[in-house]
Amino acid sequence: MLSPLGPGLISGASDDDPTAIGTYSQTGAQFGYGFCWLPLLCFPIMAVVQEISGRVGRITGRGLAANIRHHYPSWLLNACVVLLFSANAIAIGADLGAMADVTKLVTGAPQLLFVFLFGTFCVLLLLLMPYRRYVGILKWTTLSLLTYFAAALLAKVTWLDVLSGLAPSLSWSSEWVTIVVAIFGATVSPYVFFWESVQEAEESRVNSEQASLTGDKALADLKRIRVDTYVGMAVATAVGLAIIVTTAAALHGAGATHIQSSAQAAEALRPIAGPFAFALFAIGIIGTGMLAIPVLAASAAYAIGEARLWPVGLSRRPQEAKAFYATIVLATLIGITLNFGGIDPMQALFFSAVTNGIVAVPLLAMMIMIASRRNVMQALGWLAVCLMAAGVLVMALLTAS
């Protein structure tokens, strides 16, 4: 069942990393079912944007950064790459912290020990495992997302209230706008643009059957990208909605409206929804972190490597792409170090989401112009640019006031 799926499914699943889980948990705890409509609004935008990135990588045989370097000034590419690397390193730190926090809740062992162990394990997977086997493991790791649907079933959800939450309700409070920007930053994430484009390019490079893109083969391959991407984004949307529903039912109704992290959300579920719901939520956090951290580190390395004309690719051996793999290690090491420096999880989450929201605007604009197709896909892509730019601007104005 998983065999036709690949970069799109992995992109969608890694989009629901522990920092995104924290965002969805805070949304459900603070606003109840009032934001159930937003993931559904994000779905068509996510799907179209990711399909564009996948097509760009498959058709050109190059990742997004290489295409930007080919068409736009180097200073613009360098600025986007620096912001992407910064946001990814901070997100890695926040994800490692969340995974370690959850493991500490279960085992009682020191949190920083698990930060180091999880970070080291993710790097070793990338360094030592053959590309095909590694991608296969990533696809199987997406099954950890099923735990959130099980947790929702255990949380005593009022489904009529969920239906009422599907109707958009607008507000101009800074808290409301910040949640909107954070969810857009968690769903339309720049690192998954880079990941899907480079993975499609990588597949065409390592698989001789994928190299040709003409005639019926081209139509079939582009259809595969669409199905793969839409399935991945549908999974990401459904999981985000399940987390909002779970935390709204279990936490908002009990008065636990301020959640600082995904681990805190899991702990808060234990006395309210039961130990089984807590266990499922915790397993999901660890599973999605194991999926997202390698994608975050590798997408940053791909972006920098393509910008600097390095040999890149997980299908290459470390000795064949030393700078590429060194960047993966560096991004993960920064994430580990941030935890030893006492990183505040909410500040890290906020900074990462806002940085993603900012860098996504020029990246989306350049990616859509590279694709340059005058159709519905292009219109929805520009809608994503406008919505995210407007959200960042309004949040900045409200925060300043």
pLDDT by residue, tens only, the chain of 401 residues = 666 678 888 888 888 888 888 889 889 999 999 999 999 999 998 898 899 889 888 888 889 899 889 888 889 889 889 988 998 998 899 889 889 988 998 888 898 999 999 999 999 988 988 877 877 888 888 888 888 888 888 888 888 889 988 888 888 787 888 788 778 878 888 899 899 999 888 877 766 555 555 556 677 888 889 999 999 999 999 999 999 999 898 888 777 777 777 777 888 787 777 788 888 888 888 888 998 999 999 999 999 999 999 999 888 899 999 999 999 999 999 999 999 887 666 667 667 766 777 777 788 888 878 776 445 455 556 666 676 667 666 666 666 66
The span from the CA of 274 to the CA of 281, in Å, is 11
For 7-400, give the CATH class. Answer: mainly alpha
CA-CA-CA-CA dihedral for 358, 362, 367, 373, to nearest 10: 120
Contact yes or no for 278/25 (Cβ under 8 A): no
pLDDT at 400: 61
pLDDT at 376: 46
pLDDT in tens, 79-111: 889 988 998 998 899 889 889 988 998 888 898
The span from the CA of 44 to the CA of 76, in Å, is 28
Contact yes or no for 7/203 (Cβ under 8 A): yes
CA distances from 247 to 21, 146, 177, 269, 312 (A): 10, 16, 20, 8, 41
Region of residue 32 (phi > 0: left; psi between -120 and 50: alpha; otherwise: beta): left
The span from the CA of 39 to the CA of 168, in Å, is 11
Instruction: Provide the angle, in degrees to the nearest 10, between the axes of the packed helices 275-307 and 18-31.
Output: 130
The span from the CA of 264 to the CA of 353, in Å, is 19
What's the gap between Cα 1 and its chain centre? 23
Contact yes or no for 173/34 (Cβ under 8 A): no
pLDDT at 387: 67
CA end-to-end distance (rounded Å), the chain: 52
pLDDT at 5: 78
DSSP reduced 3-state for 26:
helix
Domain ranges of the chain: 7-400
Other residues' Cβ atoms within 10 Å of the Cβ of residue 77: 24
Contact yes or no for 324/313 (Cβ under 8 A): yes
Predicted structure pTM score: 0.85
pLDDT at 368: 79
Q: How many residues does the chain have?
A: 401
pLDDT in tens, 270-313: 777 778 888 888 888 888 899 899 999 999 999 999 999 999 98
pLDDT at 332: 96
